[in-house]
A and B are shown apart, each in its own frame.
Chain A
Amino acid sequence: MSHDMRDDIGSKMGMWIFIFTELFLFGGLFLVYAVFRAKYSADFHVAAEELNVFVGTMNTVILLVSSATVAMSITAIQRGNKKLAMRFIIATVLLAGVFMVNKYFEWGHKFEYQLYPGSEVMKNMEHGEILFFSLYYMMTGLHALHVIVGVVLLAVVFFRVKQGVVNSDNYVFLENSGLYWHLVDFIWIFLFPLLYLVT
């Protein structure tokens, strides 16, 4: 049937538009960040001291490498190297896993010190510090959700490659998943300096 006809350019265009909507979704939070950062810049400075720059840097490197591996899996499938493509997808998913584990310990550590919205410790803090941590949890939380969605997408694409549905002639699904993964990486690149490096 005619509307099963493939249109790779159309598919990619759809993915790009979807990525724009995701950027606008985070854009709302960036806007809130900008407003409160301007209003409480000193408090933001103090609160950001609490974040672990080392873990943040680690996670940045991890995501950057994972963006590279997903890009390499696309190149591999284009050259018809199915096995290598699958390996690179696995590598990407593993890196995402390491990112999430780091995130888990990072959040857990803060919960130990009662650094979360609504806690007793938080109640005695300055307004700007409270808002900083609220933003920290909202932004990294929403980002972590996107990491999970990305992992699910990559897992699906892995099996599609394995079945041969995604192959050297028809790899737009992998490309789109890769695009989504780059988005996850891209948003993190902005979150990292805004949250960890403002001090």
Chain B
Amino acid sequence: MESSEATNQKTYLQHKPYKGILNWLLSTDHKRIGLLYLYSIMAFFLIAAIFGLLMRIEKIAPGETIMGPQTYNGIFTLHGIIMIFIIVIPGLAAVFGNFFLPLLIGARDVAFPRLNLFSWYIYIAGTILAIASQFVGGGAPDTGWTFYVPYSAESSTSVIWALTAAFVLGFSSILTGLNFIVTIHRLRAPGMTWFKMPLFPWSIYATAWIQVLATPIIGITLLMVIAERTLNIGFFDPALGGDPVLFQHLFWIYSHPAVYIMILPAMGVVTEIFPTFSQKPVFGYTAIALSSIAIAAVGYFVWGHHMFTSGISYWSRWFFSFLTFIVAVPSAIKVFNWVSTMYGGSIDMKPPLLYAISFIFLFMIGGLSGLALGALATNVHLHDTSFVVAHFHYIVFGGMGFGFFAGLHYWYPKMYGRMYNVRLANIAWGILFLGFNLLYFPLFVIGLQGMPRRYFDYFPEYHTGHLLSTIGAFILIAGIVLMLYNLFYHVKRGEKASANPWKGVTLEWKVASPPPHENFDEIPVVTEQPYTFKSTESDS
């Protein structure tokens, strides 16, 4: 394939058909939309992280420290809603999916560019509703992000605003997923068959199907809760013949697959990183590609493991527990393949690889503790303890978060045409990694000892664990600030990056950094497998 570095097109950042900020607000360029999502997600991430820090400060010592129980309830609810619906669900798919999916498959844009921009506006509308829920009428919602009935049907706080926000954000998610599915079906470069497609697009493809097929269920469920509150329909109210457990089913039918919406793109990102920094073709290409689809398919049928203590039948518990163990298999397949990709490669320990390796480490802890929760007997003991909190933060933050940071450090030179300070990035990674483990690991231990989740207070015997955890939270925040400082500072001031600073072989490295407005002067013709490194070609 010819390198098209000597492009005569303007870069996407120089292409400015409108005036000033309108170049961002009206541009249908997938790369600019990707950055719009990146900036909005980063801003909300900082807000929600500060809420998290406030919760940790409250728990630095037993008793009331800085806030009372009602404020605490409001803060953990908003922390959850922002983190889940505004950050991790759109997260990697909206940022890197938008920016890099077309580049990786050799397309000039997504299938529906205007719909793509529209999805961002819907997303922003949803975020405004979520923020507004804090300030209007009855005060901050206090139901937790799960909106469990009967409390969500009775709480006098502004639950309806939060429900509507989640509904609107879901709509944005559906449209993004739809766009990506059609993009992958219709716009792959000539010669790029399904099994010549890089693995990040594969994971985006699996994610997009979950977004499309699972999100409507939460949509209708949220509408039912709204109707429950406003019209007394009684679906979830036992006094009228309804069933609160039915809500839990409907909620988790979406919200468990949503976990895979979060993690699959992160898995896709690290799958791009391992071959590049090992200079070696990915091990088990087909297995990784199909395991994404397997996770999406099986992940649809494990929702009941959130409800083992809710009073569902023995056989349904057995079934959901069994499938929970099954869904761990494709994830493990990926882990083995990533490690095998590095085996015997010429490993280059740059920041993206550091993040990717720590992704494996944290994801393993998160995943294996998930099996402890998926087993019926241990679940009864661990249900609703801080063990669960530790588990899903290891998956969502340790997995999706570190995957996000890995992608950010990997594709940063491509996105901005500049390079961040590598040494500073390594230091920030070290602080982040240390802070992360110090923050969340003690929660496993005190959870095992019986510390419940969502409590603003605790018995003195849990003090050591909570204290360590709060210290970890401060270290983690320091790491995040340092990392973001490094990235933002060097957007304009960093050294100029070449088109291919990491010696990657996928299509995004064949265009200039930053990419031209239309990506490719000429759409490339693909003839080889995606991870064909020239130096290793003679071996195979």
Contacts of B219 in A (CB 8 A): 25, 28
Chain A contact-residue range equals 35 or more
Contacts of B186 in A (CB 8 A): 7, 9-10, 13
Q: Are B224 and A14 in contact (CB under 8 A)?
A: no
B interface, by DSSP: helix, strand, loop or mixed? helix
Are B174 and A21 in contact, with the CB atoms below 8 A?
yes
- In the complex, how many residue pairs between chain A and chain B have their CB atoms under 8 Å apart? 102
- Across the interface, do B221 and A28 meet the contact criterion of CB distance under 8 Å? yes
User: Which residue of chain A lies nearest to B102 when distances are taken between CB atoms in the complex?
Assistant: A3
Taking a contact as CB atoms under 8 Å apart, the answer to whether B235 and A131 are in contact is: yes
Minimum C-beta distance from A9 to chain B (A): 7
* Residue B203 CB within 8 A of the other chain: no
Q: Say yes or no: A32-B246 contact (C-beta < 8 A), given A10-B185, A20-B213, A131-B241.
A: yes
Task: Kindly state the separation between the CA atoms of A126 and B243 in the bound complex, as whole angstroms.
Answer: 15
Q: Find B250's partner among A28, A117, A128 (CB 8 Å cutoff).
A: A28
Q: Any chain A CB within 8 A of the CB of B13?
A: no
Q: A28-57 vs B: 1/0 string, CB under 8 Å?
A: 110110011001100000000000000000
B24 at the interface (CB under 8 A from A): no
Chain B residues 211-261 with CB under 8 Å of chain A are: 212-217, 219-221, 223-224, 227, 231-235, 240-243, 246, 250
Cβ-based interface call for B58 (8 A): no
Shortest Cβ distance from B238 into A: residue: A127
A117–B241 Cα distance when bound, in Å, is 13
One digit per residue, 1 when the CB lies within 8 angstroms of any chain A CB and 0 when it does not, for chain B 166-199 equals 0000000010001101100111000000000000
- Bound CA span A117–B115, Å: 38
Chain A binder among B106-114, B149-157, B275-283: B106-114
Q: Bound complex: CA of A28 vs CA of B225, how far in Å?
A: 13
Closest to B30 in A: A3
B108 touches A3 (CB 8 A): yes
* Of listed A18, A126, A130, A134, residue having the most chain B CB within 10 A: A134
A→B interface (CB under 8 Å): 1-3, 7, 9-10, 13-14, 17-18, 20-22, 24-29, 31-32, 35-36, 39-40, 117-118, 126-128, 130-131, 134, 137-138, 142
Interface residue ranges, B against A (CB under 8 Å): 28, 108-109, 111-113, 115, 174, 178-179, 181-182, 185-187, 212-217, 219-221, 223-224, 227, 231-235, 240-243, 246, 250, 518
User: Top 7 A-B pairs ranked by shortest CB distance?
Assistant: A127-B241, A28-B220, A134-B233, A24-B216, A118-B232, A25-B216, A10-B186
